[in-house]
Structure 1
Amino acid sequence: MSTLSSEAVTTAELAPAPFVPLLDTVEMAVVADGAEPAWTLSEVPGGLRMLQIEAPDTAVEVRLSVPLGDTAGYWHPKANWSRTLVADWEGRSKVGLIDGLAAGCLYDYTGATLLTFAAADPVPDVALRFGVSEENDTHVVHLQLPPSAAPHRFLFVPRSPSVASAMSVLRDWYTTEMPAPLPVPEAARLPLYCTWYAFNQQIDAAQVERQAALAVDMGFGTLIVDDGWQRFGTGRGYAGAGDWTPDTDTFPDFAGHVARVRRSGLRYMIWVAPLLLGPQAECHETWAPFAPADSGVPGAHVLDPRHPEVRTHVVRTCLRLVRDYGLDGLKVDFLNEAMVYAGDGRGDVGQALLLLLTELRDALLTERTDLLLELRQPYVGPGMAAFGNMLRSFDCPADSTANRVRTIDTSLLAVGGVVHSDPLMWDTSGPVEAAARQLIGALHAVPQVSVRLDALSAEQADAVRFWLGQWRRLRPQLLDGTVEPGRPDGLYTLVRSESDGVIVLSVHDERAVSVLPATHRETVLVNATAANRVVVDVQDTGAQVEVDVRGPDGRIIERTQMSLVPGLHSIPVPTMGLALLTKTS
């Protein structure tokens, strides 16, 4: 009887296997059908441990078990909103190169980690079971690994004070050991205007150029024209996907239009979903035999990247777009739909996508070395670092909380590229706080915005200019500093970003916020709560500070001096505003 099974209701019902101590309180068992797998555990640079398992051409299951202790939650790249504990009969995930990563982090109520692991080789498809074993009072993670001629390798991080600190160790390893990431041009690190939520598919050259002119003045550096630029790009389905040629009714001279926008000061990108194929496309008859499966989006099938012909077609299509229209880059969407072919016994989808993405990157970089390529959660893990330099949060229209959570989730394992928010949208007839709330929710990523800039009230327009200006000023802290967002199950309601003596504290619930005014030359308090104050708890010797309080639109509310001695202080900061505390002595 096979020891490998995903059909048992709980992990306790699986055939028993001998467990051995692995690291800290983690125990491990390795089982395989047939030959006994050989494994080793060694220390690698950075204090990590490397588990290497050799079982040539045999399916393997790795079982990890940790005593519950004071466990609070379990985070993994596809956790979404499920980041507390689940039962082992519920926890399931399938991951691969373009759909997450075989990684996870178990942590306790102090935020300290109990188990942190990640696949050293993120390409192969892996199935996971995880959760609380009710029978054994443990938290378990089972990884089902496909047959492989090469050894299976997993990284383990010793107990760390927080999930973010443990993930930083993994990021350092990936940065050193993985193929070089795609270079990140300055334009990838600038605020971006996107047409999607503002216009959906109802766009034309004149409207785009009108928004572009306003975007330059407000502090944007890059433009993405999303779905709707192409022929048959109407309606919310994708029945017309496949040809990827401009709609000449709305963009009669696409190359000329792109050139005009670029002359205004913006880099220009377009959206494309090169694996989708719809029945309305002129090329449908040619490519339908290579797209037998429905995609997960309405109206379209998905091309199977395991065919070399498909890979060549995708590369030629994307190269043609960049070359013919003078584009600065592409927003490449729906790659993860190819996972519909995973597990059908006809070859590894992850390996095929690795070939495709390598060919695509090499061809596009030959055309221009400063290329911008946006990838979207969930295909933003370390294995994709060589293929994209803009890593975007998954769709969350008008949801500032989701944007905050998803961008920080993405950044935990982001290697090379820079994390972008999902495009921000809000009610342009609403209060100024509605705009500021969305901008604050994306503060710890490159903000993308998608509202009609010519429909903003004067206050909302001021808010966009102010917050984008602050974001640019604080970019060294927000993008490149040490970031500590707290426990994942707390949804990152207090985010600390620090570098060069400046700390940014984004406060999303009412609490006493620990500050060190004697240590930091500048403390930035961002008030995303409903209260018109931020309570700080001075935990060093204190300092005399200048306090500059701004409203959500950047308007100066108050400038004063304050002596911050040890203990609690209430600082009046309007909701969706900020206070700059600058040490004077």
Structure 2
Amino acid sequence: MNITISKPKSKKYFKPGYALKLLLPIFCFLVIQTGAQEYQAGAFKFTIPKQEGVSVNINHEQSQSGILLLTCRFTTTGSFKNEINIKWSSPLRDISGIWTTNANEARFMHAGLKVQANLASQAPVLAMYNDAGQNRLTIALSDAFHKTVLSAGINEDSSVLNCSAGIELTGEERNKKSYQVTLMFNDRDERYEEALHRVAAWWAAMPEYHPAVIPPAAKQPLYSTWYSYHQNFDEPMLLKECVEARKLGYTGIIVDDGWQTANHSGGYGFTGDWKPERLVHMADFVKKVHSAGMKCLLWYSVPFMGYHAEAYNRFENKILYKSDRQSAAILDPRYPEVRKFIVDRYVQALRSWKLDGFKLDFIDSFTNQSGDPPVAGKEADYQSVYAGVDALMSEIKNTLTTIKPDILIEFRQSYTGPAMRKYGNMFRAGDCAAAALTNRIRIADIRLLAGETAVHSDMLTWNYEDGAAVAALQFLNVIFSVPQLSVRLKDIPASHLNMIRFYTRYWLKNKDVLVNGKFRAYGPEMNYPVLSSEKGNKLIAAVYNDQSKPLLLNKPLVDIINGKTTNGVLVKLMTDRSYRAEIFDCEGKKIRVSRLKAGSGIWKLNIPPSGIACLW
């Protein structure tokens, strides 16, 4: 991997037609040899702290569309220290929230915010917005490979926003003579979702992050065995689920952890060999899945070599660290032998079993260990773990797509950043069993930066004794993503099955609007109480909290989902538009028809909990 991260030649992310202010291009070039240097660029004051033996060439330009790109090229006569720092400040004006890819970070404005990212975890971006959801300042780094830290804090004396970017260089990067990084600054007055879309497009235009092709099957609903069976299943059980799921509109099954071992005590002690001990006749099983009209994907924990695996001793000296809690070691991808072993296992499975895809798990375990990794031995062809992971994932993707161009490759949050888009075509929300709100937050977070990459929900499960309207909340909270279902279809009540059938059919009918339309995620600091998507002449909106502001009906066709346990949704009509509204409950029963007249102001549509209104 070339560790010099440069800004792309493409200027597609500049859109002068959207310009809110007309600024002539500003070009500034300076060389810093000693001491910290401060300089001004528009509203930003930058500082590069002193680093002995390092010179910094800085080139920044501001387009007519108002986006500032600052490129820093660091050159050294020796070796770099661990970290490069860039600091800046700007006036804190009309900012009430800060969005990052880490939903565990508070999203209201507070004294000190920090997001850490690398190629296998999160993404280096901060989006600051006001209470109307308008962008006030979005910042992104071109380097999404190395460990980076973006931080923002309030200077209490001056109400100035103090920010910094730290990039940690490891392995061979420290010995390079130069390193280059570009920062994007966008203070355009536009929706924060649009600002993040520009960041995603900026990254996607860079050769080092060029996204993988998305096959149509990546945006089809799937059945997963994880929550419904964990490691306790057999072939007849799964084939019955395939038959039932296909009737409901699901087109594939992900066979999760457990297929590779007859042990079901939990942990990952039996990973690494990847021999089908539970589904012994795997090729025959996959053939039967295909006969049921379903695709078959298998789960693999990419970095794990279980303590009980036959291959453990072979790689005992080529590991990054051990995890006794997981009963497994983390393989070291800097060694070509390790990469070849992993890739060969997948190639063998694809060719021998005729798989349709892979659920590749725990990739973030390569890079989340504390402290420095062990020094790579002579057999390693990389010193940097990030470079090794990039090589491994590139080899997996390139090899598998050569054999089967439409292979499905799923990754799980938080390894859903720009680098990961080039290796896989499906991003799934992180595990959050039966947590509808959390699932909603996570699919929305991924969608805001995913571009065309398919965004999947975490697997849907719930308590079978709940009413259908409560169970439906699991589905409705993720309706703007591709649903993955994980309940035992023969065990759930008939009302639950009716609900799944109704909303899966609705999703399939409206998929293009739901997952390919213009996506809006209102109120990140309030956990996205309203989500919507529009395409062509149709708007679909889901309301998850009782409202203080009505939905504006501004399309000829509007579907309104009541994704909460209380009755009714507030809507506001345009002065020139009337609607006929058909109201359905969560099982698909039409319960009333209403008429909304133009110019009649705000209405409370009497939509039942987990129900939907279809307006035209």
Using structure 1 for the length normalisation, give the TM-score.
0.91
Shift of 1:420: 0.5
The answer as to 2:185 corresponding to 1:156 is: yes
Shift of 1:528: 1.2
Alignment counterpart, residue 77 of structure 1, candidates 90, 101, 113: 101
Q: How does 1:200-239 map to 2 (within 5 A)?
A: 200-231=230-261, 233-239=263-269
Distance in 2, Cα, partners of 1:243 & 1:535: 56
Q: Partner letter of residue 47 of structure 2?
A: A
Q: Partner letter of residue 51 of structure 1?
A: L
What is aligned with 1:3? none
**Range with greater deviation from structure 2 (202-211 or 64-73):** 64-73
CA deviation vs aligned residue, 1:468-501 (integer Å, no higher than 9, x gap): 1111122122111111112321211111211111
Contact 2:260-2:270 within 8 A present in 1 as well? no
The answer as to 2:73 corresponding to 1:54 is: yes
Q: How does 1:532-543 map to 2 (within 5 A)?
A: 532-538=567-573, 540-543=574-577
Distance in 2, Cα, partners of 1:47 & 1:296: 51
What is aligned with 2:327? 299
User: What's the secondary structure of 2:188's corresponding residue?
Assistant: coil
Contact 1:167-1:412 within 8 A present in 2 as well? yes
Contact 1:29-1:62 within 8 A present in 2 as well? yes
Shift of 1:192: 0.9
Distance in 2, Cα, partners of 1:520 & 1:436: 26
Query: Taking structure 1 as reference, are residues 349 and 211 closer, same or farther at Cα in structure 2, changes over 3 Å only?
Result: same
Query: Taking structure 1 as reference, are residues 340 and 288 closer, same or farther at Cα in structure 2, changes over 3 Å only?
Result: farther
Contact 1:157-1:170 within 8 A present in 2 as well? no
What is aligned with 2:203? 174
The answer as to 2:517 corresponding to 1:501 is: no
The answer as to 2:614 corresponding to 1:580 is: yes
Contact 2:130-2:136 within 8 A present in 1 as well? yes
Query: Taking structure 1 as reference, are residues 107 and 26 closer, same or farther at Cα in structure 2, changes over 3 Å only?
Result: farther
Contact 2:255-2:297 within 8 A present in 1 as well? yes
The answer as to 2:153 corresponding to 1:131 is: yes
Q: Partner letter of residue 224 of structure 2?
A: C
**Range with greater deviation from structure 2 (145-154 or 37-46):** 37-46
User: What's the secondary structure of 2:365's corresponding residue?
Assistant: helix
Distance in 2, Cα, partners of 1:110 & 1:27: 27
CA deviation vs aligned residue, 1:121-170 (integer Å, no higher than 9, x gap): 32122134433344553333221123562311222223333321111112
What is aligned with 1:12? none
Distance in 2, Cα, partners of 1:381 & 1:415: 11
Query: Taking structure 1 as reference, are residues 48 and 137 closer, same or farther at Cα in structure 2, changes over 3 Å only?
Result: closer
User: What's the secondary structure of 2:290's corresponding residue?
Assistant: helix
Query: Taking structure 1 as reference, are residues 297 and 263 closer, same or farther at Cα in structure 2, changes over 3 Å only?
Result: farther
Shift of 1:419: 0.6
Alignment counterpart, residue 355 of structure 1, candidates 368, 373, 391: 391
User: What's the secondary structure of 1:422's corresponding residue?
Assistant: coil
Shift of 1:543: 2.1
Contact 1:232-1:280 within 8 A present in 2 as well? no
Query: Taking structure 1 as reference, are residues 215 and 55 closer, same or farther at Cα in structure 2, changes over 3 Å only?
Result: same
Alignment counterpart, residue 244 of structure 1, candidates 266, 271, 274: 274
Shift of 1:401: 0.6
Query: Taking structure 1 as reference, are residues 177 and 129 closer, same or farther at Cα in structure 2, changes over 3 Å only?
Result: closer
The answer as to 2:517 corresponding to 1:488 is: no
Distance in 2, Cα, partners of 1:513 & 1:473: 29
Alignment counterpart, residue 435 of structure 2, candidates 387, 399, 419: 399
The answer as to 2:347 corresponding to 1:312 is: no
Alignment counterpart, residue 29 of structure 1, candidates 35, 47, 72: 47
Distance in 1, Cα, partners of 2:401 & 2:550: 46
Alignment counterpart, residue 558 of structure 1, candidates 573, 592, 595: 592
Query: Taking structure 1 as reference, are residues 530 and 481 closer, same or farther at Cα in structure 2, changes over 3 Å only?
Result: same
Shift of 1:222: 1.6
Using structure 2 for the length normalisation, give the TM-score.
0.86
What is aligned with 1:269? 297
CA deviation vs aligned residue, 1:211-266 (integer Å, no higher than 9, x gap): 0000000111121010010125522211111111101xx32311101111111111
Query: Taking structure 1 as reference, are residues 376 and 161 closer, same or farther at Cα in structure 2, changes over 3 Å only?
Result: same
The answer as to 2:556 corresponding to 1:521 is: yes
Contact 1:27-1:64 within 8 A present in 2 as well? yes
Shift of 1:322: 1.5
What is aligned with 2:123? 101
Shift of 1:181: 2.0
CA deviation vs aligned residue, 1:179-208 (integer Å, no higher than 9, x gap): 542221221111111000001110111111
Contact 2:581-2:596 within 8 A present in 1 as well? yes
What is aligned with 2:39? 20
Alignment counterpart, residue 255 of structure 1, candidates 259, 283, 286: 283
Q: Partner letter of residue 244 of structure 2?
A: L
Distance in 1, Cα, partners of 2:219 & 2:503: 15
Q: Partner letter of residue 227 of structure 1?
A: D
Distance in 2, Cα, partners of 1:298 & 1:135: 48
Alignment counterpart, residue 114 of structure 1, candidates 136, 144, 166: 136
Q: How does 1:329-478 map to 2 (within 5 A)?
A: 329-340=357-368, 343-344=372-373, 346=375, 347-478=383-514
Distance in 1, Cα, partners of 2:288 & 2:374: 49
Query: Taking structure 1 as reference, are residues 39 and 231 closer, same or farther at Cα in structure 2, changes over 3 Å only?
Result: same
User: What's the secondary structure of 1:322's corresponding residue?
Assistant: helix
Q: Partner letter of residue 367 of structure 1?
A: I
Distance in 2, Cα, partners of 1:297 & 1:135: 47
What is aligned with 2:11? none
User: What's the secondary structure of 1:150's corresponding residue?
Assistant: strand
CA deviation vs aligned residue, 1:317-362 (integer Å, no higher than 9, x gap): 1111222211101000001001145744843222211111111111
Distance in 2, Cα, partners of 1:484 & 1:61: 34
Q: Partner letter of residue 31 of structure 1?
A: P
Contact 1:194-1:226 within 8 A present in 2 as well? yes
Shift of 1:64: 2.8
Shift of 1:404: 0.7
What is aligned with 1:327? 355
Q: Partner letter of residue 162 of structure 1?
A: R
Shift of 1:26: 3.7
Distance in 2, Cα, partners of 1:426 & 1:296: 31
| Structure 2 unaligned blocks of 5 or more | 1-34, 376-382
Contact 1:48-1:156 within 8 A present in 2 as well? yes
User: What's the secondary structure of 2:49's corresponding residue?
Assistant: strand
Distance in 2, Cα, partners of 1:487 & 1:167: 15
Shift of 1:43: 4.3
Contact 1:542-1:566 within 8 A present in 2 as well? no
